Chain A
């Protein structure tokens, strides 16, 4: 599904964030990306989202070479991915429901589609009772579940999450990753950056370690059976 070929990224200020990255991720995989701060993990995800362009190499997603995608096509590429932010990025002046519905509006969904799909999504992340609440009235874990519902609402094939549990109580982190696992079971590819060793150890998934802008370890594809958890 995703292929990095000799990808390097040097920022305008001369920082070598990534050097000669080669890797492949298949449809339906769940990948933890680990590494110390400043290792280049976020840069790796930004290249995937077309937020940054690599200085060298090529990235292919589903047969599309995204590294020379015209600017006007980027929005349509982003519609195939759901992005989860560490800081949730919820709009405080909107209810939980509207925060999720907003993402459908943006891509031109009809009101009927929105009315049908948003409640379903909220029930998937177990927040149907909080639909009318404001984000500020929710716990960190709940807020991130809203963020997850929003990322999933347009039915992406790929979820990109940069430290989604970074602002969530450790105890509730498992809940978030459980949800991601559930989504993964339904066929969605998951890329998740995390610092939490506990999580990585608990969920037996593929682990890619980046250090100093290079991939230093990769467990490769991990066959998961539901019983493993």
Chain B
């Protein structure tokens, strides 16, 4: 393929888009929606993962020893806990520290608790632990409870379960929505290109009569699809960024977890969108041109 031919093809493709503005805009809109939803699903899922990681990473599970257990015994409990496979870290919170924490949180009024320090302290010793893998929570919790001297576990199991459920739901729903929208996009793109082809059937018939190969006839329309995909890819990655930043801004006050930063991802998102868009466009173009060439386009004379 010569450079001049490439230029010709690009020009023809761009001209097609412009001549059929309305259809082209419709195609772009549908493709952008599809890509945006895909992006939203991906980002949502990533944020859920990050929230899960922060739940998993924080020492959010507390294991309480039996009340009045001697400190030495409490330390032994800690050693037992550390021996378990799934336990990442295990930090002892002595009952006196617990009281001091409480006093801190009460500020000036905290002094009333002073009398609790020392022998009068009725709080049990406790461990803050974190697990490697929250999905193995149940087994690990059972093992901990089985340790002699452990009284109870206070945890965020529910939160972890809900996040896992949500993540699965987002992935499944996202997949179906994306699949459906992909089909719609393909349909719209191939129709757009069919309209372009129809409005150029005279040109196509002349091309064939002077000996254009089917590839040469096809390519401008494939180029048209690819250009539509390219525009949609760029547009949707830009929109996704804006929408996401706004969403983060709105959520800024609520500090439940660290949201995923889109900045470092922008490059790969753009690349992914542009590639996906271009592939869609090319496939859409191919579908319609092949159908056209097999039907109306196979003959060129209307003698």
Query: Chain A: residues with CB nearer than 8 A to chain B?
Result: 42, 45-46, 49, 51, 72, 75-79, 82-83, 85-87, 89, 91, 102-103, 105-108, 110-111, 150-151, 154, 162-163
Contact = CB atoms under 8 A, between A and B. Distances in A.
Interface of B: 2, 4-5, 8, 202-203, 205-214, 216, 299-303
26 contacts: A42-B303, A49-B209, A51-B299, A51-B301, A75-B211, A75-B213, A77-B211, A78-B208, A78-B210, A78-B211, A79-B210, A79-B211, A83-B210, A86-B303, A89-B205, A89-B209, A91-B206, A106-B207, A106-B216, A107-B210, A107-B212, A108-B216, A110-B4, A150-B206, A154-B211, A162-B301
Contact of A150 (B210, B213, B216): B210
A150 B214 CA distance: 20
A89 B202 CA distance: 7
Given A75-B213, A102-B207, A106-B211, 6 more contacts: A51-B300, A85-B301, A89-B209, A106-B212, A110-B4, A154-B211
B303 A162 contact: yes
A76 to B, nearest CB: 7
Most chain-A CB neighbours within 10 Å: which of B2, B207, B301, B302?
B301
Most chain-A CB neighbours within 10 Å: which of B208, B214, B299?
B208
Given A46-B301, A51-B301, A103-B206, A108 B214 contact: no
Most chain-A CB neighbours within 10 Å: which of B2, B206, B210?
B210
A108 B213 CA distance: 10
B301 A108 contact: no
A78 B211 CA distance: 5
Q: Which 8 A-B pairs have the closest CB atoms?
A: A79-B211, A78-B211, A106-B212, A42-B303, A103-B210, A75-B211, A75-B213, A162-B303
A106 B211 CA distance: 7
B202 A91 contact: yes
A150 B301 CA distance: 16
B211 A76 contact: yes
A106 B210 contact: yes
A64 B300 CA distance: 22
B206 A111 contact: no
Given A87-B302, A102-B206, A162-B303, A75 B2 contact: no
A105 B211 contact: no
B299 A91 contact: no
Contacts of A150: 206, 210
A107 B300 contact: no
Nearest to A71: B214
Contact of B5 (A79, A86, A108): A108
A154 B301 contact: no
Contacts of A45: 303
A111 B4 contact: yes
Contacts of B216: 106, 108
A107 B208 CA distance: 10
Contacts of A51: 299-301
Contacts of A79: 210-211
Contacts of A163: 303
Contacts of A103: 206, 210
A46 B301 CA distance: 8
A72 B208 CA distance: 12
B303 A107 contact: no
Given A89-B206, A91-B202, A107 B211 contact: yes
Contacts of B211: 75-79, 106-107, 154
Nearest to B8: A105
A45 B301 CA distance: 10
A79 B210 CA distance: 6
A76 B203 CA distance: 18
A91 B212 CA distance: 16
A105 B2 CA distance: 11
A108 B303 CA distance: 27
Contacts of B300: 51
Contact of A154 (B4, B207, B210): B210
Contacts of B212: 75, 106-107
Contacts of A49: 209, 301
B19 to A, nearest CB: 9
Nearest to A79: B211
A219 B210 CA distance: 31
A206 B301 CA distance: 25
A102 B216 CA distance: 12
A105 B206 CA distance: 12
Contacts of A72: 213-214
Contacts of B209: 49, 78, 83, 85, 89
Contacts of B206: 89, 91, 102-103, 150
